[in-house]
Chains A and B, each alone.
Chain A
Amino acid sequence: MSDQTQMTAAQSAATKAAVMNQVPGADIAGQSPLHHADFATLAEQGQKIGGIHLCEHKLLGHLTLRCNPNNPEQLAAVERVLGVALPLTPLTSVVKGEYSIRWMSPDEWLILVPGLATFDIESAFRDEMPGHYSLVNSSGGSTVLEISGDDVLSLLQKSVPVDLHITAFPVGKVVSTLFAKTTVTLRRLDEKRFELVIRRSFSDYVWLWIQDASLEYGLVIEV
């Protein structure tokens, strides 16, 4: 076996990991994990007033990067690819244009990009990143929900055990935590606006839970 640490990015990309464009042509429509919920119809026909607003950001590119936060070459490579540095402070995130990066664990970041940009970014990483790292496309495995509204904190208090007070959970903070009986990656977008990255197979459970837990506030679906 060769020593990957010594390898250049180009060598690594060419021979060491399998990267493929996983998105078909535009003639084949993707189905997000919540396709069956038909948010488009619910947005049109459902209630327009309520304390909870929900929309899905579907078919985005989800990339999980694992690398060494103490390796300056890797950090520089990430910045070259994404135009923004990895957030190294635990539980923080950065946003640059259509790219957003969430700190997940000391050597793990979740990067969201436009769905069609995924392969190019993966390829760019393979071109740029030196040393030991992994980049995994998990776009099919999760989806993104955005919830907001006057009662969004109450809804989340029913669902997650973490402290959501603005001083404990400022805008931009990210946690991966329990959500009812499943897990979410929760990020605060605004005082009363949150992003939930949820797993595909649990998405129906999350959807059912949000409907049930928001009954007393009223749920408005948006597209």
Chain B
Amino acid sequence: MTQANRLNSGGRIDRSTSFTFTYNGKKYQGYKGDTLASAMLANGIDVVARSFKYSRPRGIIAAGAEEPNAVLQLGASEATQVPNVRATQQELFDGLVSSSTNGWPSVDTDVMGVLGKIGGNMMPPGFYYKTFMFPESLWETYESMIRKAAGMGRAPRERDPDTYDTMNQHCDVMVVGAGPAGLVAALTAARGGARVIIADEQNEFGGSLLNSNEPLNGKPAVEWVQEVVAELSQHENVTLLPRSTVNGYHDHNFLTINERCTDHLGDIAPVKKVRQRMHRVRTKWVVLATGAHERPLVYANNDVPGCMISTAVSTYINRYGVVPGNDLVVMTTNDYGYQAALDWAAAGRNVVAIVDTRETSTGERAQQARELGLNIMLSAGVIEVQGSKRVTSVSVAPLNADGSQVVGSITKLSADTVATSGGWSPVIHLSCHTGCRPVWNESVVGFLPGPTVQKQLTAGGINGQYETATVLKEGLAAGQQALANIGLVAADVVLPEVKTLSLTPPMSLFHIPHIKPTSQAPKQFVDYQTDVTAAGIEIACREGFEAIEHVKRYTAMGFGTDQGKLGNINGMAVAAKALNKSIPETGTTIFRPNYTPVAFGAIIGRHCGALFEPKRFTAMHSWHVEQGALFEDVGQWKRPWYFPKAGESMQQTLNRECLAVRNAVGILDASTLGKIDIQGKDAREFLGRVYSNAWAKLAVGKCRYGLMCGEDGMVFDDGVTACLGENHFVMTTTTGGAAHVYEWLELYHQTEWPELEVYFNTVTDHWSTATITGPNSRKLLAELTDADVSNDNFHFMDWKQITVGGVPARVFRISFTGELSFEINVQANYGMAVWEQLIDAGEKYGLTPYGTETMHILRAEKGFIIAGQDTDGSVTPYDLGMGWCVSNQKPFSYIGKRGMSREDCVRDNRKQLVGLKTKDPKQVIPEGSAAILDPNAAMPIPIEGHVSSSYWSECLGHSVAMGFIKDGLNKMGDTVYYPLADGSMIEAEICSPIFYDPKGERQNV
């Protein structure tokens, strides 16, 4: 297949390496070194998209990040689909598959063409607000319609096969942009001994130097670039990041960079390689050398394929060896626009005319054009182009001195390409990210970075400097300033020699007038991606939107994925003209991260799949897995939920596990409970202040249950604390509450009571805990220890240091099931050894492993609360019927004491925790059910409370539930009703929450 627009020589492409790529199902050829856009232009592909509102054919306008139209869908398979890829930034690789994202069935034969015209009329500026927000109920319908019409690409429906990751970087100087300014700045900083990172979005360093034929030191500029890159590569403290877009500049000189490591190699990254990498950079100083984007001019039908910005034309010719047409008309307001014509002519194609809006142009580029005999039309503008899928002709007309009016007759020229230059827009996006307001500069006709609080330096195009010699000097100055700022000695760099061309000042002109008023002229596009026209902005202003932010939102200008890189300044100029204000008076909107769209994968990095969230395991986890346990997430822990045997339902398993504990012995892995070692002479005093109950008299060798409240008097955690020595305790917390309790203790110690001599250490992971519980638990324990574990010697709520299965252990005789229980704690490296011995020895006693669900049932049978399930931050110990666990006799106050005495906490009719016994014993009230007193009451029925815990109790042969009822403790024996979603009603009697062994005899045996 021929590449009709490809030159035979020149450019930075490798003509010996040919790549095949697919666009909209058709195969084409390009070369290594091409972007997708340059390869498409080489093949004469004019139409790359259909526009958002009007469905107009659109072509490639630019050659870089600012491209609004060539935003394509990539991917050879469903899993590798990538939306929002700018063809101008995507390097070509063999086998690349791309398609346009809007236009159906294709951009060339578009069935929406007619609809587009209707759609355009139906979608005046402000359609989001005027049309689609009302009625609100239809918004979803509108939205899907708009999305389909907009067609901005789609996410893959299958899992992305590639990996992404993140790298943290630190440096002294972060240089953004590796054009002439950035390279010199980086070289200067590197020679001065600074740690430097230099990043550039292009595949190779050089920036604008890659696109021009301007020599440095009398040699091709790229030779100088190669010398600088070679030296930078030699510096140990310099990191070079090509293909890396600095997408965000955040507070405290933190920058985020998206490196496309392998996007240029294929549809899927090579095996084991990372596709994209997010660099998170913390730097002392930033040098923004981001350059400038050329502004297109706004004229009638300026979106017809073939209309481009002039630098893009030069770039395609010089860098890619592609001339994107045959007959060129250039329209410019400045000297730089002439370069496209010079390059076009050098490529041997026809320059029809250079249309300069200024009255004179005596600069050297203009002189070169005159020497070549090119046709220069001064004081004129291209007011309109003709054509549908490609420019066929242009209308040129004389303009008055300020370019506001057409003042003569139209000349029609035959051309297929129009290159325009309205001057430059410095790339100030990153500086805007940190809140720096841009400032209009009249002489450079553009917004420059304003004052900043960041440690930010700028150099080159971003400062409105476009002559290479000046840009290089600014890079040197920025590098030296950065060195000085970090206290390093200034280094010198000899700048390459470059000829400075004389310039005629640019004209401040954005919107080319038409013979008709803007509202009646053919569409003059300002923002291509969102189809905002000059007429649309004028309507917005006429309708009273005066602030540029409002104009932006009303018209959607700058809302596209390109953030209006090409269009925003022109839009502001059009608005300023309509409002009869100056551009600085009109102001500008600013930019936010990210500079260009970033794949979600690059943001999430490796934190996905198995690594999405840490999973915490106990020392016995592999045993649980082997036994076929199902697991429950408790915080980050994986706790065994229940251990089903083959063929068992969940309820059958739970019934079996519960009966085993009540009648024989069960074993639970309780290692996940939080454990905090507390030492110091004031440990006991501290406990008294953070728990609601008393600790003064807890003897060495004893354990006690405690409730922990917030300042508001509401329970937030509970657990058993043991006195290990006079000044030594170990506290247990809930599994999920461990970290919070530990921080809570440290917080109060460090901020409120630093005078207390106490130290806290978390030992959750250090101890493995095997809880054996049930009537046979003592027999089992006795078998594995020489110690006397009889009831006479080892009392309920005692702990002992004994040896279990040959392993030194702390055994706590405490119970969460109401049965005789021993919690065996051993150093976790020996947890499995003890567990396995217990399992072996326990077989003859009917030892049954159980999980959290059975634990929940057994404790509910006993009316024991679970903090976080039966508490929700709104219940005091009294509300739980646990006033016995509050001591108001302590000499020092405790956290929550004052909160509990607030008026609202001591009033009548608070919700209180009670037991609930269903009238039909087989019915289990769903947890969360709301209680009502009168099932026949008129709507809305007052809610009296809710159910917090509810289970089937196989041991009791009926359901058990706990829940809150207003004034419940005084309503024992009353009936409450729980209406269910299906319309039925469960009737229950209010009772004590202790359903099983109310006298508590079983745990004392």
Chain B residues whose CB sits within 8 angstroms of the CB of A15 once the complex forms: 725-726
Interface status of A170 (Cβ within 8 A of chain B):
no
8 Å CB contact of B170 from A30, A139, A165: A165
Check: B117 CB closer than 8 A to any chain A CB: no
Q: Whose C-beta in chain B lies nearest to the C-beta of A142?
A: B765
Q: 1/0 per residue A27-46: CB within 8 Å of B?
A: 11111110110000000000
Closest beta carbon of chain B to A151's beta carbon, Å: 12
- Chain B contacts for A160, CB-based, 8 A: 168
A18 touches B724 (CB 8 A): yes
Q: Is A158 an interface residue (CB 8 A)?
A: yes
Of chain B, the residue at the smallest CB distance from A132 is B757
Complexed CA–CA distance, A157 and B166 (Å):
8
Which residue in chain B gives the minimum CB-CB distance to A6?
Answer: B681
Complex interface: stretch among A81-89, A91-99, A187-195, A201-209:
A201-209
> Does B693 interact with chain A (Cβ within 8 Å)?
no
Chain B 259-296, CB-CB to A under 8 Å as 1, else 0, gives: 00000000000001110000010100000000000000
The answer to whether A141 and B679 touch (CB under 8 A), given A29-B833, A180-B611, A209-B606, is no
Whether B728 contacts A138 by the Cβ 8 Å rule is no
The answer to whether B613 and A181 have CB atoms under 8 Å apart is yes
Q: A36-B622, A132-B757, A205-B614 are in contact. Are A17 and B830 (CB under 8 A)?
A: no
* Pair A31/B606 contact, Cβ less than 8 Å: no
C-alpha gap A209/B833 in the complex (Å): 28
Q: Check A17–B679 contact: CB distance below 8 A.
A: yes
Shortest Cβ distance from A125 into chain B, in angstroms?
Answer: 12
On chain A, the residues within 8 Å of B617 by CB distance are 201, 204
Chain A residue with minimal CB distance to B833? Answer: A28
Contacts of B726 in A (CB 8 A): 1-2, 15-16
Closest residue to A179 on the B side, CB-wise?
Answer: B614
CB closest residue in chain A, given B620: A31
B805 / chain A contacts, CB cutoff of 8 Å = 28
Within 8 Å CB of B790, what residues of A? none
Known contacts being A2-B681, A17-B725, A199-B765, is A139 close to B829, with CB within 8 Å?
yes
Which residues of B sit under 8 angstroms from A36, Cβ to Cβ?
Answer: 621-622
Residue numbers in A under 8 Å from B724 (CB-CB): 17-18
- Nearest-neighbour CB distance to chain A for B275, whole angstroms, equals 11
Q: A139 contacts which of B282, B768, B827 (Cβ < 8 Å)?
A: B827
B712 at the interface (CB under 8 A from A): no
- CB of A16 within 8 A of CB of B727, answer yes
A24 with B757: in contact, given A36-B622, A140-B767, A208-B611 (CB under 8 Å)?
no
Within 8 A of A (CB), among B693-750: 724-728
Contacting pair B611 A21 (CB below 8 A): no
List of A residues within 8 angstroms of B685 by Cβ: 1
- CB distance B166 to A137 under 8 Å? no
Contacts of A137 in B (CB 8 A): 766, 827
Task: Knowing A1-B684, A28-B830 are in contact, say whether A158-B725 is a contact too (CB < 8 A).
Answer: no
| A156-B767 Cα distance, complex, nearest whole Å | 29
Asked if A161 is at the interface (CB within 8 A of a chain B CB), the reply is yes
Who on chain A is nearest to B609 by CB? A212
A154 / chain B contacts, CB cutoff of 8 Å: 167
The interface residues of chain B lying within 8 Å CB-to-CB of A10 are none
Residues of chain B within 8 A (CB-CB) of A136 are 677, 679, 761, 763
**Which residues in A have their C-beta under 8 angstroms from that of B826?**
22, 140
Q: Are B765 and A200 in contact (CB under 8 A)?
A: yes
- One of A21, A66, A141, A161 near B808 (C-beta < 8 A): A21
Across the interface, which residues of A come within 8 angstroms of B211, CB to CB?
none
Q: Are A180 and B808 in contact (CB under 8 A)?
A: no
Interface residues on A, range: 35 or more
Q: Interface residues of B: mostly helix, strand, loop or mixed?
A: mixed
Residues of A within 8 A of B761 (CB): 64, 66, 134, 136, 138
Whole-angstrom distance between the alpha carbons of A25 and B282 in the complex?
A: 51
Q: How far is the CB of A19 from chain B (nearest CB, A)?
A: 9
Name the residue among A134, A164, A216 with the largest chain B CB count within 10 angstroms.
A134
Complex: how many Å from CA A36 to CA B832?
A: 12
Q: Nearest chain-A residue to B279 (Cβ)?
A: A157
Question: Is B195 interfacial (CB-CB < 8 Å)?
Answer: yes
Assess whether B725 is in contact with A16, with CB atoms less than 8 Å apart.
yes
Does residue A20 face the partner (Cβ distance < 8 Å to B)?
A: yes
Contact across chains for B607 and A180 when beta carbons are under 8 A apart: yes
| Segment 789-814 of B: residues with Cβ below 8 Å from A | 801, 803, 805-808, 810
Indicate if B163 sits at the interface (CB-CB under 8 A).
yes
Known: A22-B827, A133-B759, A161-B280. A140 touches B170 (CB 8 A): no
A209 — which chain B residues lie within 8 A by C-beta? 606, 611
Interface residues of A in 124-182 (CB under 8 A from B): 132-142, 154, 157-158, 160-165, 168, 180-182
| Nearest-CB residue, chain B, relative to A1 | B681
Q: Which residues of A contact B124 (CB under 8 A)?
A: none
CB within 8 Å of B: which A93-107 residues: 107
Q: Closest residue of chain B to A160, judged by CB?
A: B168
How many A-B contacts if CB must be within 8 Å? 185
Q: Is the CB of B808 within 8 A of A200?
A: no
In the complex, the answer to whether A139 meets B766 with C-beta atoms within 8 Å is yes
**Which residues of the partner chain B approach A205 to less than 8 Å between Cβ atoms?**
611, 614-616
Q: How many residues of B contact A (CB 8 A)?
A: 65
* Option from A16, A141, A158 in Cβ contact (under 8 Å) with B763: A141
Of B237, B607, B680, which is within 8 A of A134 by CB?
Answer: B680
Contacts A66-B759, A204-B617; A180 near B606 (Cβ below 8 A):
yes
A157 B168 Cβ-Cβ under 8 A: yes
Q: Is B764's beta carbon under 8 Å from chain A?
A: yes
Report chain A residues within 8 Å CB of B237.
165
Q: Please name the residue on chain B nearest to A31 by beta carbon.
A: B832
Tell yes or no: B870 within 8 A of A by CB: no
> In the complex, what residues of B have CB within 8 A of residue A29's CB?
833
Beyond A1-B681, A201-B617, whether A208 also contacts B280 by CB under 8 A is no
Which residues of A lie under 8 Å from residue B526 when comparing CB positions? Answer: none
B695 to chain A, nearest CB (A): 12
Contact A216/B827 with A1-B681, A17-B728, A180-B607 known, Cβ cut-off 8 Å? no
- The listed residue with most B CB atoms (<10 A of its CB), out of A16, A163, A164, A202, is A16
**List of A residues within 8 angstroms of B224 by Cβ:** none
**Are A200 and B827 in touch, CB under 8 angstroms?**
no
Q: How far is the CA of A29 from the CA of B619 in the complex (A)?
A: 13
B604-660 contacts to A, CB under 8 A, are 606-607, 610-611, 613-619, 621-622, 636-637
Q: Which residues does chain A contribute within 8 Å of B619, judged by CB atoms?
A: 31, 33, 140, 200
The answer to the question of A221 belonging to the interface, with a C-beta cut-off of 8 Å to chain B, is no
Q: Given known contacts A4-B727, A17-B725, is B680 in contact with A132 (CB within 8 Å)?
A: yes
Give the complex CA separation of A165 and B641 in angstroms.
46
Q: Are B677 and A24 in contact (CB under 8 A)?
A: no
Q: Which of A5, A27, A157, A202 contacts B616 (CB 8 A)?
A: A202
The residue in A18, A107, A157 that gathers the most chain B C-beta atoms within 10 A of its C-beta is A18
Q: In the assembled complex, which residues on chain B have CB atoms less than 8 Å from the CB atom of A161? A: 168, 280
Q: CB-nearest residue of chain A relative to B801?
A: A20
A-chain residues with CB within 8 Å of residue B618 when the two chains form the complex: 201
Q: How far is the CA of A163 from the CA of B728 in the complex (A)?
A: 39
Quick check: is B546 within 8 A (CB to CB) of the other chain? no
Nearest A residue to B615 via CB reads: A205
Residues of A within 8 A of B167 (CB): 154, 157-158
Whether A158 pairs with B166 at a CB distance below 8 angstroms is yes
- Kindly list the 7 A-B residue pairs having the minimum CB-CB distance in the complex, ordered from nearest: A140-B828, A141-B766, A141-B765, A30-B829, A134-B679, A4-B681, A201-B616
28 of the cross-chain contacts (CB-CB < 8 Å) are: A12-B727, A15-B725, A16-B727, A16-B728, A17-B725, A18-B724, A20-B808, A22-B808, A23-B827, A27-B806, A31-B833, A33-B619, A33-B828, A64-B761, A66-B759, A132-B757, A134-B677, A137-B766, A139-B829, A140-B766, A141-B765, A161-B280, A165-B237, A181-B611, A182-B614, A201-B617, A201-B637, A202-B616
Given contacts A24-B833, A137-B827, A204-B617, 18 further A-B contacts (CB under 8 A): A1-B681, A1-B726, A20-B801, A23-B808, A28-B833, A59-B829, A132-B680, A136-B679, A138-B763, A140-B619, A140-B768, A141-B765, A165-B237, A201-B672, A202-B614, A205-B614, A212-B606, A215-B163
